[in-house]
Amino acid sequence: MNAVMQRLWAPLPRARLAGVRILVGLFVLGYISYRLPLLRHMARQDPDIFAPVGPLAWLLGAPLRPALVDALIAATLGLALLFAAGILYRLVAPLLAVAVLAVTCYRSSWGMLFHSENLLFLHLCVLALAPAAEVWSLDAWRRSRRDRRAAATTSASGSATSTTSPVDPDGAAHGFTLRLLAALTMATYFMAGVAKLRNAGWGWVTGDLLRGHIAFDNLRKAELGAPFSSLGGLLLRHAWLFTPLAAFAVVIEVGAPLTLLHRNAARVWALAALGFHWGIVVLMRIPFHYPLSGVAFAGLFPLERLPDLVRRLRPRSRAPDSPARPAPG
């Protein structure tokens, strides 16, 4: 048991979790802004269509006033900005999780569930309780400034003054949080794979049903007057293509939990899953925004190395002792 605990709590860099926090916050900001017209339209629909789902089924019997929904959306956008910047994180993070649940749940209460929002909310739940703003945040910057001032006072007066330290100095909680985020991601893919096998059996892997879904989705879009995938329609005549595509989809989904056993396997899986989602866009024009953006898988990669990478890619400034270029004229 101790070995399992040691593995679960093996340290990971604090900056990686902070990177995930920033990306998730920015994703919420972008996604809610992008969905703004639909969210506002939903709030102004015929109340008869309203069928609350999830926690709203217990809390709401009738739609909210549109102005209240607008205020909720505005608050969510503000909280997402604070979350990404790491301002008052311990307060803001749980509030953002609740706000995103409220907005997405409310939107889903008008008859259409968007399945890529589930994982976003689950990730926010975990981040809400995690020490994800210890670095790369305004909270951390303020803390370090306060500590520097305290240290300066100490050295001036010669008296001992305590300074604050990180909640998780060895990065163990960061490691655990990142592993939990990954486990939740894998669990949702596993569920989607199992649903296919439960509904259609192993016959799903032959590709006939995938071909049927691609035909149906594109045809429905065409008949409703929406843009559809011409390539998806064109490929339908090549039945043989759909067996490997369907097998790939099922392997990605059902096999997802196995990748938790090794870091590199998880990274290969994440890239394959990203390709799988881009494939859905190309063949069906269905964007599952959260995984498609890559943010859902970001914690599996060494985000902490990003600043170094950026520094290396930036053109080098001239060495201080190099001769200065003569001024023109």
Site string for other proteins, 229-268 (x = CB under 8 A): ----xx-xx-------------------------------
For residues 25 and 92, the answer to whether their CB atoms sit within 8 Å is no
Contact residue for other proteins among 47, 61, 158, 225 (CB under 8 A):
225
Cβ-based nearer residue to other proteins, 80 or 85: 80
Residue ranges in 293-312 that form contacts with other proteins under rule CB under 8 A: none
CB 136 within 8 A of CB 86: yes
Q: Work out which of 59, 68, 71, 167 binds other proteins, going by CB under 8 A.
A: 167
Give the shortest CB-318-to-other proteins separation in angstroms. Answer: 38
User: CB of 166 within 8 A of CB of 134?
Assistant: yes
Cα 67 from Cα 78, distance rounded (Å): 17
Q: Which stretch binds other proteins (CB under 8 A): 63-71, 123-131, 291-299, 313-321?
A: 123-131
Q: Shortest distance, CB of residue 328 to other proteins, whole angstroms?
A: 52
CB 210 within 8 A of CB 245: yes
Among 26, 60, 88, 184, binds other proteins (CB under 8 A): 184
The closest of 248, 236, 238, 235 to 276, measured between CA atoms, is 248
In whole angstroms, give the CA distance from residue 39 to residue 66: 10
**Helices 66-85, 14-42: crossing angle, 10 deg rounding:** 170
Considering the rule CB under 8 A, would residue 170 count as an interface residue with other proteins? yes
Rounded Cα distance, 82 and 49, in Å: 34
Residues that contact other proteins, how many (by CB under 8 A) = 78
Q: Does 104 bind other proteins (CB under 8 A)?
A: yes
* Min dist. Cβ of residue 297 to other proteins (A): 17
Name which of residues 185 to 224 contact other proteins (CB under 8 A): 187-188, 190-192, 194-196, 198-200, 203-204, 208-213, 215-216, 218-224
Instruction: Quickly list DSSP for 209-220.
Output: HHHHHHHHHHHH
Contact present, 139 and 106 (Cβ < 8 Å): no
Q: Binding residue for other proteins (CB under 8 A) from 3, 37, 312, 320?
A: 37
Of 60-68, 82-90, 157-165, 298-306, the window that binds other proteins (rule: CB under 8 A) is: 157-165
For residues 121 and 248, which CB has a smaller minimum distance to other proteins in the complex? 121
Q: Which of 4, 16, 10, 228 minimizes the C-alpha distance to 127? A: 16
Side-chain half-sphere exposure of 163, counting CA atoms within 13 A: 19
Q: What letter represents residue 82's amino acid?
A: L
Q: Give me the least distance between CB of 285 and other proteins, in Å please.
A: 9
Residue 38 found at the interface with other proteins (CB under 8 A): yes
* Minimum distance from residue 136 beta carbon to other proteins (Å): 20
Instruction: Enumerate residues 73-92 that contact other proteins by CB under 8 A.
Output: none
> Per rule CB under 8 A, is residue 162 in the interface with other proteins?
yes
Q: Which is nearer to other proteins, 69 or 85 (CB)?
A: 69
Least Å distance between CB 219 and other proteins? 5
Amino acid letter, 306: L
Give the angle 27-30-33 at the CA atoms, nearest 5°.
140
Among residues 73, 105, 205, 256, the one that binds other proteins under rule CB under 8 A = 105
| CA–CA distances in Å: residue 306 to residues 19, 20, 301, 303, 313 | 9, 12, 10, 5, 10
Backbone angles phi, psi at 158, to 5 degrees: 80, 0
From candidates 36, 53, 87, 241, binder to other proteins by CB under 8 A: 53
